[in-house]
């Protein structure tokens, strides 16, 4: 829903009714993950995507019906061999999609997302409770109800745990929140602030990495100690540009298990003290640019500085996948490809040389 916010705000402000379709479960090689959303207005506009194009037409028609009746619907879309060219998922997967009219809880959730305040949206998608009953959960408060006090309490507890980990998924309960029962299925969407991409080294490659990082949904910071280079004008795609010694900035900023750190300075006086700090953080990815000779020298210096082998094993250097990249833009693609592969457990090999599901849904996003 995050990507739809500008359009949803326009509809809310204009009093436009709309229905929201959300992927709540995936089986097989489906192209979108749980949480992917598409909105359809009463005037016939549509924004977002739930399947990359496979079933959008059918979902649009269903959303129109939901707007007319006011009744939410949980619909399963899939494909069989006999229906290869019918409406469905030609990649062979199955999607469960909840289509619901916009409710009072959605605007408050959207406001928190826009303010980068962590919030979870819990919605009944199956079982004994009212379909599409929704509750917004923050770290310190709750709004809405799923219809039973015990269920609200159990879901609140679990939703806060999922939100802390940035995870989205279905949890099962008894009608009053009993954890050993599974009559009621609740879909919990976590809307944590965007993950951070920290780019160190204000060079032309950094501008390209910042650009692709923003495209991938990261909050991008570019940092360099040289004021003549660390300027917002040189990095228009960055959310912030910091002029500070990189290791000092990193030691004093927030880094979590979703943070990506790219070190593009390839200058020992910058990158060795910086990597000493970076490799001791919980960052999901730490990569450093440089030749193989630079890498060997850098690792030797880090060992001399007391960095242990298990920490050194986390270092992605030379940074990026072997794509034969030459330009800053091509290099940024190779770096982004390595980050995505690490995040989802990809091999980096051509898909034509692999077997099994193309879209992995069993690897948790960092």
Kindly report, residue by residue over 268-309, the tens digit of the pLDDT: 889 999 999 999 999 999 999 999 999 999 999 999 999 999
More confident residue, 272 or 165: 272
Per-residue pLDDT tens digits for 247-259: 999 999 999 988 9
Residue 360 pLDDT: 56
pLDDT, mean over the chain? 89
Cβ pair 26, 32 in contact under 8 A: yes
**What pLDDT does residue 365 have?**
41
Q: In what order do the strands lie in the sheet with 219-224?
A: 240-243, 219-224, 196-200, 260-263, 285-288, 315-316
Say how many CA atoms lie within 13 Å of 16 toward its Cβ. 19
Given a cut of 90, whether residue 214 has pLDDT beyond it is: yes
pLDDT per position as a tens digit, 52-110: 777 889 999 999 999 999 999 999 987 544 443 444 455 557 889 999 999 889 899 99
pLDDT at 132 over 60: yes
Q: Is the dihedral of CA 56, 218, 137, 141 positive or negative?
A: negative
335/192: higher pLDDT: 335
User: What's the Cα-to-Cα distance from 187 to each of 22, 176, 191, 333, rounded to whole Å?
Assistant: 10, 16, 13, 34
Number of neighbouring beta carbons within 10 Å of residue 290: 20
């Amino acid at each position: 829903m995050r990507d739809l916010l500008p359009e949803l705000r326009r509809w809310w402000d204009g009093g436009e009714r709309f229905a929201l379709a959300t992927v709540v479960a995936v089986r097989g090689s489906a192209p979108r993950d749980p949480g992917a959303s598409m909105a359809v207005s009463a005037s016939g506009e549509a924004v977002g995507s739930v399947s990359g194009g496979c079933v959008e037409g059918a979902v649009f028609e269903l959303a129109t019906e939901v707007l007319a009746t006011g009744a939410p619907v949980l619909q399963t879309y899939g494909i069989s061999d006999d229906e290869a060219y019918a409406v469905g998922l030609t990649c062979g997967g199955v999607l469960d999609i909840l289509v619901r009219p916009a409710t009072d809880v959605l605007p408050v959730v959207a406001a928190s997302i826009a303010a980068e305040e962590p919030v979870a949206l819990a919605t009944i998608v199956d079982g004994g409770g009212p379909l599409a009953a929704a509750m917004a959960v923050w770290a310190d408060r709750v709004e809405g109800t799923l219809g039973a006090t015990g269920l609200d309490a159990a879901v609140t507890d679990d939703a806060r745990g999922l939100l802390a980990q940035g995870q989205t998924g279905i949890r099962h309960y008894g009608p009053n929140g009993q954890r050993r029962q599974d009559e009621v299925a609740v879909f919990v969407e976590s809307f944590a602030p965007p993950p951070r991409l920290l780019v160190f080294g204000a060079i032309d490659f950094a501008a390209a990495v910042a650009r692709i990082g923003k495209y991938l949904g990261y909050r991008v910071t570019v940092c360099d100690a040289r004021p003549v280079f660390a300027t917002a004008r040189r990095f228009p795609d960055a959310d912030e540009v910091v002029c500070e010694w990189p290791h000092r900035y990193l030691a004093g900023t927030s880094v979590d298990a979703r943070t990506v750190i790219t070190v593009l300075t390839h200058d020992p006086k910058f990158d060795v003290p910086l990597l000493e700090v970076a490799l001791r953080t919980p960052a999901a990815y730490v990569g450093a640019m440089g030749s193989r000779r630079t890498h060997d020298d850098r690792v030797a210096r880090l060992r001399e500085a007391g960095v242990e082998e298990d920490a050194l094993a986390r270092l992605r250097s030379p940074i990026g996948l072997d794509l034969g990249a030459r330009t800053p833009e091509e290099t940024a693609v190779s770096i982004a490809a390595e980050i995505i592969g690490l995040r989802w457990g990809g091999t980096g090999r051509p898909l034509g040389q692999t077997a099994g599901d193309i879209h992995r849904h069993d690897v948790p996003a960092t």
